[in-house]
Amino acid sequence: MSDASSMYHKRAMLNHFLDRLISFFTTLAITDFTFYKYSFLCSAIKESDLKTYTVKDYLIEKPKKGFVILRHDIDDNPEVALNMANLELHFGLRSTYYFRDTRKCFQKEIMKKIARLGFEIGYHYEPTGKLETDSRIFANALKKFKTSEINIQTVCAHGSFKEIDLILLSKYSDIFKNMGVKGEAYADVGFNKLDYYSDSGRIWRHISRTGEIKLTNTNRIVDHILRKGVAKIYILVHPQWWSINIPIWFLKQLSGAISTFIRVIFAQLTTKNKRP
Ligand SMILES: [Zn+2]
């Protein structure tokens, strides 16, 4: 064997070993919220008979069943959203990325890049309940998107599931429709009639007509998707909760554990000092 082919052989062996190692980690529930795990979910969607939709396309086509609406709320870390879009593109999936109008999130170059990959960009608005004031703020935000050459067709409210008030959100939807927007990601999608999965706060929840249950990990979502009968799926994924690789995932876990440890010690010390 020549030196060159021996080197090639060694590299191939190493790549094979790394592939096996990554697929081993991917099967473990412990490595949840990594991009490896996310690719596992994407692959499950691709392998299923379900078609993925952006919110805009779902509102236009209104399929009866056999679909996954894939939605991303960008509350923080827009860079991760671009990585996630590239990963979804690899699996041929479609999705909508909703960006807040904040200094951190409104990154027009990132939004344009994601749009160029064929994904929908939406506005992640923040309803306060004061319709008049909010509509002025939202009109300005839509103008800002427009001047940045980002075409907004749908919007999505920022806030936790517990705060979602569909009656109020349909009022917001009407306001947005007067501004030329096609629809709102909660009020117009009718998400309470679908199987809704959300990773908010890095905890998977399944919300359906029968109520809300916590799912221990992404593997459980994959089980649900591959199970026959679950045919109207709406998934919310926050890219910011997902780590691009194992070292970043490990650092996030470690910093989370350290901050919890410090909080516990601090709480114990303050309780001790308060004792008479
Ligand atoms: Zn949000």
Ligand 1 center from residue 200 Cα (angstroms): 9
Residue pLDDT, tens place only, 215-247 = 888 988 898 888 867 789 999 999 999 988 766
pLDDT in tens, 78-133: 999 999 999 999 999 999 999 999 999 999 999 999 999 999 999 999 999 999 99
With respect to residue 159, please indicate whether it lies within any of the assigned structural domains. Answer: yes
Residue 98 CA to ligand 1 center (angstroms) comes to 8
CA of 265 to the centre of ligand 1 (A): 31
Q: Is residue 42 part of a domain?
A: no
Query: How far does residue 145's CA lie from ligand 1's centre (Å)?
Result: 18
139 inside domain: yes
Q: Could you read off the pLDDT of 138-160 as tens digits, one per residue?
A: 999 999 999 999 999 999 999 87
Residue 190 binned pLDDT confidence (cut-offs 50, 70, 90): confident
* 66/46 Cα distance (integer angstroms): 12
pLDDT at 2: 66
Cβ-Cβ contacts under 8 Å for 3 (sequence gap 6 or more): none
Task: Give the chain's radius of gyration (CA, Å).
Answer: 21
Give residue 78 CA to ligand 1 midpoint distance, Å: 12
Query: What distance in angstroms lies between residue 159's CA and the mean position of ligand 1's atoms?
Result: 5
Number of independent structural domains in the chain: 1
The DSSP 8-state label assigned to residue 217 in this structure reads S
Domain range enclosing 59? 48-265
Neighbours of ion ligand 1 (CB under 5 A): 73, 75, 158
Q: What's the 126 CA to ligand 1 centre distance in angstroms?
A: 8
Q: What is the CATH number of the domain that holds 225?
A: 3.20.20.370
